[in-house]
Structures are given as C-alpha cells and as structure tokens.
Structure 1
Amino acid sequence: MKNKLKFTLCFTIVISALYLSAATKYVSKTGANVPPYDSWANAATTIQAAVTESGVDDTILIGDGTYYPTNQIEIMGNRTVISENGREKVVVDGSATNRCFYLSENATISGLTISNCYTHRDGGAVFLDDGIVSNCVFTHNSADYWGGALSFGSGGVVQDSVFNYNTLSKDKGGAIVVFAGGLIRDCEFNYNSSTNYGGAIYCYQGGTVENCSFTRNSVNSSKGGAVSCYKGGGISNCTFDLNYSSSYGGAAYCYKGGEFISCTFNTNYSLGNGGAAYLNGGGILTNCTINKSSAAGLGGGVYCVDDGYLQNCTLYDNYSDEHGGGIFIAGGTVDNCDIIDNDSAGYAAGIYCKDDSIIQDCLIAENWAVENAGGVYIETSCTFRRNTISNNFAENGGGIMLNINTLAENCLINANRATQHGGGAYNHGATLQNCTIANNESGWSGGGVYSYTGIVVNCILWNNNKEDYFNTGSEILYSCIDGWTNIQNGIITNDPAFYSETSFKLLDGSPCLNSGTVLSGMSFQKDLDGNPRVVDGKVDMGCYQGAIPEPVLFINFCLLFLLYYRKK
C-alpha cells in the first residue's frame, strides 16, 4: 500500500512539473511590462521581451495591435508565438529596416500579419531553420537575395498562409526560397515578384509545395513567373493563374529537375518561350492541365528541351506567336497527353518537335495553325507512335508535316484539312508506317498524303477528298489506297471494310488483314490500341492489328437494340 502511494505521489509530481514547465507569456500594447509577463495586466509591450523571458515549450500570446520590432526576433526550443484574435488583428511591421523573425528547433509563429520587413538576403521577413509558420499573412516584404518574404534553412513547414506583394530586387524567390526538407502547403501567393528566378517560389535542390494557389506573380528579367525549380522540387495539386515571365516559363521553370503533379495552369503568359511552363534538362509535368496560356516565342503551353517530360497532361486553347501552340519540344518526351484546340501564328498549333523527341499515345485534335502543320510539325529525328491526329487545320499538312529521320507508326490521321497540300500528312523525307489516313481534305493536292520524299508502308489511305500525291522521290508499299492506279509493290485498292464511318478498326474479311509486310523492329511495336503489331508472323495494314470478331459485332448490335427499345 505504501509503495502504491509513493508511486502515485511521484507520478503526480512528474506530471505537475511537466505541466508547470509550459507557461504562457503575454504581449499587449497596453500591458504593464512587468516580468515574467504571466498575465494580460503585466504583459510585455514587445514580442522580443516576452520571447526572452520564455522557456522551452512556452506559448507567447500576442494581443491586438501593430508591433515594430527594432531587431530580428529569435525563437527556438519549441516555443510558439501566436495571436490572441487571429492574423487580421496582429501586425508585425519591420519598418523596412530589418527581418522580423528567425525560427529554429521547431519554433512556431501563427496567426500574424508580417509586413514591411527587409533584409539583404535569406528571407526579408522570416528565416526558417526547422520551424513552423502557420496561418500568417506576409505582405510588402522585400530582400535583395534569396526570398523576399521567407527563406528556408535546413527544413521547416509553411502552411495555411498568404503571401501578397513581396519582392526580391536582385535574385531568386519573390516570396520564398525553399531547399530540400522544406514543406509549403495550403498557401496562397498573389502579386509577388522577383528579378531573376521564381516570382513567388524558388526551389533549390528540393522542397515540396502542396495544395497552393499562385495568381499574378511575375519574374521581371528571367524565368518562372510563379515557381522556378533547380535540381529538384516537387509541386503538386497547385493552381497557377495569370502569372507572367519576361523571359521563359510564364508560370513555371524547371532546370535539371523539378516535378509538377496534378497542377492546373490557366491564362499564364511568357514574353519568351513557354507560356505556362518551361522544362529544361529533366523537368516533369504529370497529370497537369494547361489551358489558355500564351507565349510571344515558342510553345504557347509548354516549352520542353533536353529530357523534359510530359505525361498524362491536357493542353487546350493555348497560343504561340511563333511555333508550337500547345507544345514546343526538342529532345524530350510527350506521353499520353491530349493536345486540343491550340493555335499558332507559325507552324504546329499542336506540337512542334525536333532533336530525337518522343511523342506517343497522344490525342492531337482541333488545332489551328496560320502557316503549316495544324496538328504536328516534326523538324527532324523524332519517334512518333500510336497517336491520333484529328480535325486539325493549316495551309499545308493539315494533320502533320514530317521531315527526315523520322518514323511515324501506328497512328490514326483523320478528318484534318489543309488549304493547299496534304490534308492529312505532308511528308518530306520521313517514314509513315502502319497508319490509317482517312477522311482528310486538301484544297490543292494530296487529300490524304502529299509526299515529296519519304516512304509510306503498311498504311490505309481512304476517302480523302483529293488524290494522294507521291513525288518521284517517294515510295508507297504494301498499302491500301482509294482510287490508286499504279498497282504494284503490295498495293491494293479494295474497300478496307472499316467498322464504321468513325471507327477505323477492320471487320472480318477486310482485304487489309495480313496484307502488310513485316519490317525490322516491328515485333516490338504495338498498334494504336496497345496490342502486339505482329501476330503469327503477319501484320495488317493500318493502325489496328486484327479484326473485330463477329460475336463482338452481334453483342454491340444487341446493346444498341436494347438502348433503342428502352428509349421507345
């Protein structure tokens, strides 16, 4: 019994000691300024005095008013500085002469408006070295270098905060500079600006940004109107609206790394290249939507070079004053993207690609180029596979214009229009292999294909409005061509027997089944549906391998009948 009482007494003493060790210090404009500042009546009149008097795990509670610290306030050791009545009621003003806060060792500031702070470098208002900033407003802060409002050190968290009108005069990060280990989430960035990289945020070799919005941020002499990443940085579930760059990347710029995941870019602008984003040397866009953005240079939506990567993205209604209304890419990859309803004043309203780029599994539709290549322009040396090019418009090459050292394979090129030559495709030295080119129109010649030089093999060219044109430097092999008279080299002219006017899969009994020629490397290819291109050592003409079997047709008929009966 005595042992039990001793244990209970010891436990009570320990808990009481822990409880008593965490105290609250008060700050008020009308306090008596009597240490230890343990009541509103005896509150400190400056934040620094209360912080100095506090201990580890203490809370410094700030009353309403505007406070003017004369020096940087250093907070560490798990202390929390928080307003009594919210961030609208407490303003910390740096008088344009000093940084306001230095946070470390898990220190926290919350519920403050921090304004008019200045330092030469590393965060005009706050330097965050493994601390937490929560539910604050940063406005009209500035620095010369590295973070107009805030700079991270080794780590930390910024959350539920607003950054407005912060500026950086000479370098990077109009509002924030973040490094590996830093986390920014659920924040708003409006009207921030920098001279160099990142009008709002500069990510240096890492950092994570989640669920944030960026509106009307700008970079005045360099790249990344809202966010710029160097050798890392992960940005996810963010929105970018009306951001501006005087150089590259109206909203985003990545150099040698950085990834944007599930972000939305709307109405951003670049005076140079990349209206919404500029990916250089490995930047990645995944599951992003880019719309209504524009560039005075190349790439109205995205400019992508040197291993930049776009995957599962949608780009629509973007515009370039030069080439590539949706995307300009040189040495990168575009995978499984929808590029729709973009415009360019020059070539390629959809995609302009060159320099060993890869374009695969994309829908490129309803794009409009003032000059050539309504959907796609391939300058040289690109891989172009399993893409659908539909309802695009240009002077020449309504769907696609191709040049030397390029293979376009297993593509559907349908219902495109050119006012002059090549309604579907204008070929100048490339190979079109296993493509279906149907229902295209041209004003002059080559309704489906206008081929000055190059090879067309295993293709179906059908129901295009003008006779296809093949110059003496071109070859046409093992293909099905509507109205063709030079029957040789595996050419057939029989109706290919498409499933319907809008579905270009082949029916059983189609003359195009098993009528192509198997070429080197084809055993590794897949058709437009992702099925093996070669089956039992044979290959079909067109973009699909195999026929729709009769049982499937019967099932489809039954389903249509049931739908009709149900409506009746």
Structure 2
Amino acid sequence: MYVLVANRIYYVDGVNGDNANGGTSWGDAFATIGKALSVAGDYDLVLVADATYSDKNLQFGGKKIYLRGVDHNNAGQRPVIDCRSSGRAFYFNSGEKRDCVIDNFTIKNGSSDLGGAIRCENSSSPSIINCTISNSRALYGGAICCKSSSPSIVNCTFDDNRVDLYGGAIFCDNSSNPSIVNCTFSGNSASLSAGAIWCDNSSSPTVTDCTFSSNTADNYYGGAIFCQNSSNPTLSDCIFNDNTANWHGGAIYCDGGSLTLTNCIFSGNSAANYNGGAIYCNSSSPTVTNCAFSDNSAADFGGAIYCCSGSPSIVNCEFSTNSANESGGAIYCDSSSPKVRSCTFSGNSACYYGGAICCRSSNPTVTNCVFSGNTSNNDGGAVYCCDSSNLTMTNCTFSGNSAKNFFGGAIECYNSSSAALNNSILWGNSAGGGGDEVYPADSGSSCTLNHCCVDSAGYGGSGTIDESNCVHDDPRFVDAAGGDYHLQDTSPCIDAGDNSLVPSGVDKDLDGNPRIVNGTVDIGAYEHQP
C-alpha cells in the first residue's frame, strides 16, 4: 500500500539543507536522507530534492515511510544516491511491508557482498518504484538481494550491475517472491550464472511487462534468469533480446522448477558454447504459451529451447529462424515428453539433425502445428527422432522442409524410434539422399501414417512404413510459395481425417477456429472454413 495522505511531510535538500534544521519545509530542509528517516514516523512523507547524496545503509526501521525523490532544484532531475563503490544505499531487515516506499531515485556505484544497492531480508518487502539502479557490484544481487523477502519493484531500470557469483541485478533466495513490473534490465552480468535475476530455494518472482536485453552469464547458465530448487517464476508480456549465457540457457535456465511463460518474446538470445539459445530446462516442466522465438542460437543443441528430463507444455508459439550448430534448430528434447500444440516452425535450421525439432529418447506429442522451410544439413529437415523416441503428431502440416545432404526431408526416425502421424500433411519436402517425406532409417524404426496426405514417392529408409486411409494427391494449399497452408475449396484433405485421432481437449485448429467442421476433421493444421 502506498501512502496517499501523509501524516507529516519532511524535506531533504542536499544542496541547501542542514541537519540542524527541523525538516519542515524546503527552507528548513535536512541535508541528508538518513536524518529524515531517523525522525519520520508511520505514514510520513519524506521529499528528497534532486542532488547527489552519499548516504549508505539507510534503514526504515520498520516504519511506514514514503521516501520520494522530486525535482526541487532543477526541473526534470531526480536525486542520486552515489555509494562511491563502498556500501549499499538501503538495508531493509525489520519486516517492512509494501507501505515502506522508495520512489524516484537513481542509485549508483553500490558495493556490498549481498545486494550492491539494496538488501531485503527477514520478511522485509518494501515497494521500490520509478528507480534506476546502475553500476552496482556484489557477490549476490548486483542491485538487489532478497532473502525471505518479497519486495514490489515497479517501473525501475537496472543497467550495468554485476556480481562475482549469482544474480547480476536481483538475487532471490529462501522463498523470496518479489513482484517485478514494467522494469528494464540491460547490460547486467554475472561472473557465474543469472545475468539479471537469480531464483533459488522456492523463490518464485512474478515478472510482468519487463524487458531483458544484453544481459550475460559470463561462465555458466542463464543469460537473463536462472531458477532452481523448486523455484517457479511466472513471467508474462516480457521481452528477452540479445542475452547470452556462456553455457546453457541464453535467456533462461530452469533446473527443477515449473517456469510459466505467457505472451513473451525471445529474440537474438544465445547459448554461446552449449545448449538452449533462449531457454534450457532440466528436470522441469515449464508452461510456455503465446510466445515468439526468433533468431535465437545454440552452439550445440536447441536453438530456442532445450528440454532434458521434463514434460514442458508449449502452446500457441511461433519459432522462426532459430538455429543450432548441432541439432534441434528450434527445440531439442532429451529424455523428455513435451506437448507441443498450435505452433508454427518456419526457417529454423540445424547443422546436423532436426531443423525444427530433434528428439533423443523422448516421447513428444505434437498437434495442430505447421513446419515450413526448416532445414538440416544432414537428416530430418523438420523433425529427427532417435534412440527409442516415440513421436505422435496429429493434424500437422509439413511443407518445404529440407534435409540438404542426407535423409528425411520432413521426418527421420533412427535407432529404434517411431513416428505416428495422424491427420497430417507431408508434401513438397526434400532430402538430398532420399526419403523426401519420411525416412525410418533402420529396421527397428517405423513410421505409421493414418489418414494423412502424403507424397508416397517420398518414402525411404530400411524401417517399416505403414499407412492407412491416406491421400496421395496434391493437398492444394492456398499459396504454399507464400507460406499460406490453408486448404483450397477443392482440396482432397477436406473432411478426410479421422475424428477419433484428434486428442481429447483439442477443439480448435491452428487459427483458433473449430477443429471439426461438417462432422469430419480435415487433414492438416488448418480446418477449412466454408
């Protein structure tokens, strides 16, 4: 709760004030912030004039004080607390709540082991609004350290903060659950992990309308955000661009938690030497909804997302022009069971396997998706499954994908792996070595096609290909060359699917229109609308 009606008002002016004054007006202003905090009480307002202050370790002492910076001396300016690389600006340790407020300050050059600029502990959860924190240093939490505390952080900017260990901007530990709204994190860095925000030991911040750009984890994980040990952050309407991790998770690294992402954009993030250009998930099951991934890259696997030993849900997302120097241009799954629904994969690439998706010892379920223009230099232009993977794809469309040098223009299965393709279109894909559409490479691998539209001339491989009630005619897309894979009125795919193959709960097509029209489901990702 913010103070709306002040009990008393105190004034601070670092240019013209004097601590011998009473602080009751600008003409009677104190010289330091610390003096005002020492005399203010509950629901008092402290107005701080634009000037540079050197106060350190300022404490509210549990009092409900609203501390507000104003442009008293120069229009458009605000007060600056310069810690001069020695100490932090604020220390909250008396159980402060949201009605303890810091508003409209610049804090710079902080330096402390825990929280270079601000430290919150002992269930202290103040409100920090309209502030800029820059060039501050710490071991943990370059700008803010939260231990068993949940501050509200609104309309703030964090830039060029750095830690020797974890959390370039914010460190959250021991069930800290800050609310972070409309903030910008830019150019923050961690020597080890979490260039911007670290979440540990059941810490689950809520992050809304924030931008993370050019943050780095210099040596390990999570260019922007790192979460582990039952930490479950919720992020919505956020932008992640040009963040970098030296190892895994160019933007986000999640280990053993359940990350929730909604309406987020990931662009140009990079795992410089390993996996997960945008997101790396280990033993976790994130929920990713309505997100866009473009131009993210991984030196090894998973240009956008890398999943290991988890069951992520990925719904209504776009993956375009992501790349992996090894495999899985958009998504790489290792011992995982992702559910991917109503997504588009276009122009993603991998040097070796799976231009869009690569699965190892995994059981993905993919529904209502379009794969177009994805490429691998070797095998599986769109999808590659290996090492006892079992892929199920329903109402998907594959067109214009390419395995440039080897096999499986749309899909390849290798080493005792299987693909069940239901109500799907595979047409116009290419492979340099054969199997333009599907390629079960070995005798232990198989592809089963039920009610699909497929060019049977594109079958290849030494494994088993079984088909039932398939169509072998041109699907008649509206404009395949222009990327429009809706069906023309004369398409043989209309009302040619099998309703029983549509997964339970799937009642919309990729456009959000009814999945079944005229009583029988169409083949492909889009239901024809008469």
TM-score with structure 2 setting the length: 0.81
Residues 320-359 of structure 1 mapped to structure 2, 5 A cutoff: 320-330=298-308, 331=310, 332-354=312-334, 355-359=336-340
Contact 1:236 1:263 in 2 (8 A): yes
Asked whether 1:233 is paired with 2:205, we answer yes
Shift of 1:45: 5.6
* 1:253 and 2:226 correspond: yes
Which amino acid in structure 2 is aligned with residue 283 of structure 1? Answer: L
Residue 142 of structure 1 aligns to a residue whose secondary structure is coil
Q: How far did 1:532 drift? A: 4.6
Label 1:168 to 1:463 Cα distance change in 2 as closer, same or farther (>3 A).
Answer: same
The answer to whether the 8 Å contact 2:495/2:521 transfers is: yes
Name which of 448, 454, 475 aligns with 1:456. Answer: 448
Write the distance in 2 (CA, Å) between the matches of 1:457 and 1:32. Answer: 83
> CA separation in 1, counterparts of 2:516 and 2:269?
38
Structure with the larger helix share: 1
How much has 1:34 moved relative to structure 2? 4.7
- Closer, same or farther: CA 113–540 of 1 in aligned 2, 3 Å: closer
In structure 1, the gaps of 5 or more residues are 1-17, 57-76, 482-494, 553-568
Q: Which amino acid aligns with 2:342?
A: D
Deviation at 1:408?
Answer: 1.5
> 1: distance between equivalents of 2:29 and 2:496?
91
- What amino acid does structure 2 have at the position aligned with 1:451? P
Cα distance in 2, alignment partners of residues 46 and 541 from structure 1: 72
Separation in 2 of the partners of 1:333 and 1:26?
52
SS in 2 for 1:195: strand
Q: 1:478 — aligned with what?
A: 469
What's 2:391 paired with?
406
Distance of aligned partners of 1:542 and 1:208 in 2 relative to their CA distance in 1, 3 Å threshold = closer
Preserved CA contact (<8 Å) 1:426 1:451: yes
Deviations for 1:233-267, whole angstroms, at most 9, x for unmatched residues? 11111111110012111011233311111111111
- Which residue is equivalent to 2:215? 243
Contact 1:114 1:125 survives alignment (8 Å): no
Farther-moved stretch of structure 1 (264-273 vs 31-40): 31-40
Of the candidates 248, 258, 272, which is equivalent to residue 282 of structure 1? 258
| Offset at residue 448 of structure 1 (A) | 1.5
Checking the alignment, whether the CA contact within 8 Å between 2:341 and 2:369 is kept in structure 1 is yes
Distance 1:44 1:469 in 2: 83
The one-letter code sitting in structure 2 at the alignment partner of 1:368 is S
> Is structure 2 residue 176 aligned with structure 1 residue 176?
no
The one of 430, 434, 437 equivalent to 2:423 is 434
Q: Assess, with a 3 A threshold, how the Cα gap between structure 1 residues 468 and 46 changes in structure 2: closer, same or farther.
A: closer
In terms of Rg, which structure is larger? 1
CA contact (8 A) 2:10 2:36 kept: no
Is the CA contact 2:390–2:419 (under 8 Å) kept in the aligned structure 1? Answer: yes
* Distance apart, 1:540 and its partner CA: 5.6
Question: Residues 6-45 of structure 1 correspond to what in structure 2 (within 5 A)?
Answer: 22=8, 24=10, 34=20, 36=22
Alignment check: 8 A CA contact 1:27 1:37 kept = no
- The reply on whether 1:424 has 2:410 as its aligned counterpart is yes
Deviations 1:209-250 (Å, cap 9, x if unpaired)? Answer: 11111111011123x211123431111111111100121110
Superimposed CA distance per residue, residues 43-99 of structure 1 (whole angstroms, 9 cap, x where no aligned partner) = 6565555555x454xxxxxxxxxxxxxxxxxxxx23333333x2xx232244xxxx2
Q: Aligned pair in 2 of structure 1 residues 435, 136: CA closer, same or farther (>3 Å)?
A: same
Counterpart residue type for residue 468 of structure 1: Y
The amino acid that maps onto 2:381 is: G
Residue 54 of structure 2 is aligned to residue 92 of structure 1: yes
CA contact (8 A) 2:407 2:432 kept: yes
Q: Do the aligned partners of 1:410 and 1:527 also contact (CA within 8 Å) in 2?
A: no
**Cα RMSD, aligned residues only:** 3.2
Aligned length: 481
- TM-score normalised by L of structure 1: 0.76
Contact persistence 2:8–2:45 (CA under 8 A): no
Task: Specify the alignment match of 2:365 in structure 1.
Answer: 383
Query: CA separation of 1:421/1:83 partners in 2, compared to 1, >3 Å: closer, same or farther?
Result: same
Distance change in 2, residues 1:527/1:413 (3 Å)? farther
- Quick check: 1:524–1:533 contact (8 Å CA) kept in 2? no
Identical aligned residues as a percent: 26
Structure 2 unmatched ranges of 5 or more: 70-78
The 2-side partners of 1:32 and 1:209 are apart by 36
Residue matched to 1:560: none
Secondary structure, aligned partner of 2:462: strand
Following superposition, the deviation at residue 508 of structure 1 comes to 6.5
Change (3 A) 1:472 1:103: same
- Equivalent residue for 1:365? 346
Match of 1:59 in 2: none
Corresponding letter in the other structure for 1:225: G
User: Equivalent residue for 1:194?
Assistant: 163
Residue 137 of structure 1 is matched in structure 2 by 106
Q: Which amino acid aligns with 1:270?
A: A
